A = this chain, B = another copy of it.
Amino acid sequence: MEYPSKAIKSVIDELASLPGIGRKTALRLALHILKQSEEEAERLGQSIVDLRKNIKYCTECHNISDTDICNICNNPRRDTDVLCIVEDTKDVIAIESTAQFTGRYHVLGGLINPLQGIGPSQLNIESLLSRLRERPCKEIIFAFSANIEGDTTVFYLTKKLKPLGIKVSSIARGIPVGMDLEFTDEVTLARSLMNRTMISVDEG
């Protein structure tokens, strides 16, 4: 595709390098930006520059934070006995929005993925181990996506954590709420049969 100006080509090159944005979408975004005021475009561009420049990470759990210790690690009402291990900030946000988890987090910053050259040393695993050695907890919950990278990371971490003698669990795999059983894939269905939950009926 030939573009009528260098300025628009360079912004399309940049936007199309983002995940999920193709060149046609990038062009649509660029034309939208051109219809905005100069101030609005400046604010968008500057917020991207600032994000990368000024971002801080919690020294405890490695989540994105405005302060050295994040709001969750700093909250005395959060349970210190349970630690939830996640891949990314977006998983912390997703779990927090359920309002079901009162423990703390540890953000790995990725999952083990040999095909993409991501090994344990690139993740926040060493800091997890030293954190647990300093202040042991009672249970660790792995909350990873249900894919090979997630399973590999669970396998690796379980072996690493064994010497510490901490109870380890993983969030349940099964049929999503609202999903029809007939449309569920076989692997999920098999797992949900294997990991069935007992139903207790109160006698009345």
Q: Which of the 9-residue segments A59-67, A134-142, A149-157, A179-187 touches chain B?
A: A59-67
CB of A199 to closest CB in B, whole Å: 33
Indicate whether A200 reaches chain B with its CB closer than 8 angstroms.
no
Interface mask (A6-34 → B, CB under 8 Å = 1, otherwise 0): 11101101110111110001011111111
Nearest B residue to A49 via CB reads B45
**Alpha-carbon distance between A70 and B138 when the two chains are bound, in angstroms:** 69
Oligomeric state, in number of copies?
2
Q: Are A5 and B41 also in contact (CB < 8 A) when A19-B28, A20-B28, A49-B46 are? A: no
Residue among A4, A5, A13, A20 with the most chain B CB within 10 A?
A: A4
Do A19 and B29 touch (CB < 8 A)?
A: yes
CB of A164 to closest CB in B, whole Å: 27
Which residues from 70 to 105 on chain A have a C-beta closer than 8 Å to any C-beta of chain B?
70-72, 88-90, 92-93, 96-97
Tell me which residues across on chain B come within 8 A of A38, comparing CB atoms. 52-53
Indicate whether A198 reaches chain B with its CB closer than 8 angstroms.
no
Do A41 and B52 touch (CB < 8 A)?
A: yes
- A51: which of B8, B17, B28, B90 is its contact (CB, 8 Å)? B8
Indicate whether A192 reaches chain B with its CB closer than 8 angstroms.
no
Do B54 and A7 touch (CB < 8 A)?
A: yes
CB of A44 to closest CB in B, whole Å: 4
The 5 closest A-B pairs by CB, nearest first: A41-B52, A45-B48, A45-B49, A45-B45, A14-B44
A residues contacting B by CB (< 8 A) are: 1-8, 10-11, 13-15, 17-21, 25, 27-34, 36, 38, 41-56, 63-66, 70-72, 88-90, 92-93, 96-97
17 chain-A/chain-B pairs, Cβ below 8 angstroms? A4-B70, A7-B51, A7-B55, A7-B66, A8-B89, A10-B50, A11-B50, A14-B47, A19-B32, A20-B25, A33-B48, A36-B52, A38-B52, A41-B53, A42-B53, A45-B45, A45-B49
